[in-house]
């Protein structure tokens, strides 16, 4: 089903029937859905940078509150708890670890959608950023950080990183790089210019440039951002 909203929702729920029901509801509402049934699966899911997580408090291999804290601190992904546990202590713990909302099951799909829309609006107002492992790209301010360290990039280096990051999950060819970054005014630029800029960018952002984790080669095709 087509993603009409442009938003990706991650569902972390070990009840397969409930997970399927919520998934179908979100698909009908125009969202893209990714699912996980454990904390371990959820960590892989978050690498794909969903726009919002719906998280059950009790999971087979861990606690939803720990997952919520990780989602906020490492990936900056908003979290709504969708759980049967309504103890006051549990609710307070969830908000203390960064929960954006807490809903107790059963809840109507229409109410869930309204709460999701509110959280997504708040998240969008905080600016357009991408987090991957310890790398943060602030597209609005054109700033890049690794951990707590600001990285100084030239204009072309930043434009190249932005192009790759915004096409995450897709291969970016050297031809695309030349056309969209260097050759916009019809000026001739050698392909080696791309190689030089890529190498400089890797030296600045990669923990180990010989084994890159952010800018990866796709043999014979081009490059991709992340795994």
CA 197/CA 195 separation, integer angstroms: 6
The 3 state secondary structure assigned to 188-224 is: CCCHHHHHHHHHHHHHHHCCCCCCCCCEEEECCCEEE
Q: What's the pLDDT band for 57 if we cut at 50, 70, 90?
A: confident
CATH of 8-125, one of 3.40.920.10, 3.40.640.10, 3.40.1210.10, 3.40.50.2300: 3.40.50.2300
Percent of the chain predicted with pLDDT > 90: 34
Q: Residue 86 has which token pair?
A: 């309504």
**Residue ranges covered by each domain of the chain:** 8-125, 129-225
> Which residues lie closer than 8 Å to 42 by C-beta, 6 or more apart?
10, 12, 36, 53, 55, 59, 67
Q: What's the pLDDT band for 28 if we cut at 50, 70, 90?
A: very high
pLDDT of amino acid 186: 44
Residue 1 has pLDDT above 60, yes or no: no
CATH architecture of structural domain 129-225: Orthogonal Bundle (1.10)
Burial (CB count within 10 angstroms: exposed 0-12, middle 13-18, buried 19+), residue 121:
exposed
Mean pLDDT over 155-171 rounds to 88
**Whole-prediction pTM:** 0.59
Q: What's the pLDDT band for 88 if we cut at 50, 70, 90?
A: confident
Residue 184 has pLDDT above 60, yes or no: no
Identical topology for domains 8-125 and 129-225: no
Residue 178 has pLDDT above 70, yes or no: yes
ω before 44 within 30° of 0 (cis)? no
Mean pLDDT over 213-226 rounds to 88
pLDDT of amino acid 126: 61
Mean pLDDT over 192-216 rounds to 89
Mean pLDDT over 174-200 rounds to 77
């Amino acid at each position: 089903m087509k993603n009409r909203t442009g938003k990706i929702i991650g569902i972390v729920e070990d009840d397969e029937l409930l997970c399927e029901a919520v998934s179908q509801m979100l698909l009908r509402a125009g969202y893209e859905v990714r699912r996980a049934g454990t904390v371990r699966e959820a960590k892989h899911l978050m690498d794909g940078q969903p726009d919002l997580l719906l998280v059950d408090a009790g999971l087979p291999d861990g606690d939803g509150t720990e997952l919520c804290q990780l989602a906020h601190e490492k990936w900056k992904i908003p979290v709504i708890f969708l759980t049967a546990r309504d103890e006051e202590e549990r609710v307070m713990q969830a908000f203390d670890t960064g929960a954006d909302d807490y809903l107790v099951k059963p809840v109507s799909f229409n109410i869930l959608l309204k709460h999701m829309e509110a959280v997504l609006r708040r998240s969008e107002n905080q600016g357009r950023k991408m987090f991957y492992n310890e790398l943060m790209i602030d597209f609005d301010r054109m700033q890049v950080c690794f951990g707590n360290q600001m990285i100084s990039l030239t204009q072309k280096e930043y434009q190249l990183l932005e192009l790759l990051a915004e096409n995450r999950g897709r291969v970016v060819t050297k031809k695309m790089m030349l056309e969209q970054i260097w050759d916009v005014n019809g000026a001739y630029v050698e392909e080696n210019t791309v190689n030089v800029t890529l190498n400089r960018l890797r030296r600045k952002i990669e923990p180990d440039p010989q084994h890159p984790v952010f800018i990866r080669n796709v043999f014979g095709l081009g490059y991709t951002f992340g795994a």
